[in-house]
Amino acid sequence: MTFENSPYFKSYEHKKISLSFGDFYFLDHFLISELNEGIHLDWKKILEVIAEIKAHYGPNKKLAYISNRVNSYSIEPHLWINFNKEFGFIMASAIISYSEMNYINATLEKRFSTKSLKRCTSLEQAIEWVENLREFNQNKTLHLL
């Protein structure tokens, strides 16, 4: 299910950024990507997204990333290593897989990620997981004390 066709689209404040290779939704403390069918996600495209993220959130915002894989595309799993070395603002990631093959690919990518990476089967599961991440709820806990 795409973010725009989900109940979350109207309940979460967001900004949509459309690039030549996919759509990105910037929410308060996480972002959702929905890449186009058949593209190959390479380092150049990642840098294009990073520029948009920094322009929107600023240089120091800590975020979670949800890859909503509603379309089939390719990515080099080792890019996770380069990404985590180069950019420290993504605290955790969720990959939503809608097929067994996508789930297997997500499992391979998980092996290359040095940060927490959750494999999910629905947008609901991914958003719930992100919303409950300890890193984002520490401030809520501190305010309650």
Domain 8-144, what fold?
Transcription Regulator spoIIAA (3.30.750)
Residue pair 40/75 in contact by the 8 Å Cβ criterion: yes
Weakest mean pLDDT among 32-36, 102-106, 126-130, 135-139:
135-139
Scan for tokens 């890449």, then name that residue.
35
**Contact assessment for residue 56 and residue 26, using Cβ atoms and an 8 Å cutoff:** yes
Domain positions in the chain are 8-144
Greater pLDDT, 104 or 15: 15
Between residues 51 and 144, the one the model is more confident about: 51
Selected residue with higher pLDDT from 13 and 106: 13
Q: Considering only 19-28, 46-55, 129-138, which range has the smallest mean pLDDT?
A: 129-138
Helix (H) or strand (E) holding 18: strand 15-19
**137 pLDDT more than 80:** no
d(CA 77, CA 125): 23
| 106 vs 136: which has the higher pLDDT | 106
Q: What are the pLDDT digits (tens) for 75-101?
A: 887 787 788 788 889 999 999 999 998
- Give me the mean pLDDT over the 5-14 stretch: 96
**Per-residue pLDDT tens for 101-119?**
888 888 888 887 778 889 9
- DSSP for 94-130? EEE-SSHHHHHHHHHHHHH-SSEEEEESSHHHHHHHH
